[in-house]
Chain A
Amino acid sequence: SQQGEEDPQALSIQEGENATMNCSYKTSINNLQWYRQNSGRGLVHLILIRSNEREKHSGRLRVTLDTSKKSSSLLITASRAADTASYFCATDAKTQSNYQLIWGAGTKLIIKP
């Protein structure tokens, strides 16, 4: 099952522009996380936002969370070529016996120089 779904699937913008990616999920959550994956590499944690938070910043990253709409957005401001990567959201979901992170399929971001 896919709890988190990113939108768009792919995004190509010019260097210096802002990039916005969205994540929608289906069930109530405790936390939502965003990760980056460079081509051929492992995932790297970017930011975690808790269900009682609405916005969080980290450097050029801004994450918002709207629990009423079950959605989150990741904004990267003043994009750089090094931001070219795939971005994934992950939400916790209660399974029969535990909580597990459920991942979206990702947004592939290309920053054109």
Chain B
Amino acid sequence: DAGITQSPRHKVTETGTPVTLRCHQTENHRYMYWYRQDPGHGLRLIHYSYGVKDTDKGEVSDGYSVSRSKTEDFLLTLESATSSQTSVYFCAISLLAGENTGELFFGEGSRLTVL
């Protein structure tokens, strides 16, 4: 299994509170991604990173920010959580990106409930 650890795995919080999810990898892969998974939808990309301090927005980035200060860590922050952000969040990593995006390796997911 690829060395990807997400924390916390489960979190219940209240509307308006800040939340940070952490993704830690031991594979030294350059590219990292945060997705959310909701029933009836495929995975939707929130933000991605192509290196330390290099990040970009995905399809559903509103309400989320990210930071990558080290190759191995990619943080996803909800500055003020809303009920619409209740979801399962997945971190993924890849060796390649762009036109030659190959296999993605996924973490086990972080289930977030916003009350």
**Chain B residues positioned under 8 Å from A100 (CB to CB):** 45, 48, 58-59, 101
Assess the A103–B107 pair: CB atoms within 8 A.
no
Interface of A is mostly: strand
Q: Bits for A26-45, please: 1 = Cβ < 8 Å to B, else 0.
A: 00001101010000111111
State the Cβ distance, B88 to closest chain A Cβ, in Å.
9
A85, CB-defined interface residue at 8 Å: no
Q: A33-B103, A43-B104, A99-B98 are in contact. Are A88 and B42 (CB under 8 A)?
A: yes
State the Cβ distance, B58 to closest chain A Cβ, in Å.
7
A97, CB-defined interface residue at 8 Å: yes
B100, CB-defined interface residue at 8 Å: yes
For the complex, count residues of A whose C-beta is within 8 A of B: 27
**Chain B residues positioned under 8 Å from A35 (CB to CB):** 104
State the Cβ distance, A96 to closest chain B Cβ, in Å.
10
Seen from chain A, the residues whose Cβ lies within 8 Å of a Cβ on chain B are 1-2, 4, 30-31, 33, 35, 40-45, 48, 88, 90, 92, 97-106
- A–B Cβ pairs within 8 angstroms, 28 of them: A1-B59, A2-B41, A4-B42, A31-B102, A33-B103, A42-B90, A42-B106, A42-B108, A43-B90, A43-B92, A43-B104, A45-B103, A48-B103, A88-B43, A92-B99, A92-B101, A98-B56, A98-B97, A99-B97, A99-B101, A100-B48, A100-B59, A101-B104, A103-B42, A104-B42, A105-B40, A105-B41, A105-B42
Seen from chain B, the residues whose Cβ lies within 8 Å of a Cβ on chain A are 4, 40-45, 48, 56, 58-59, 90, 92, 97-109
Known: A33-B104, A99-B97. 6 other contacts (CB 8 A): A35-B104, A42-B107, A45-B104, A100-B101, A101-B101, A103-B42
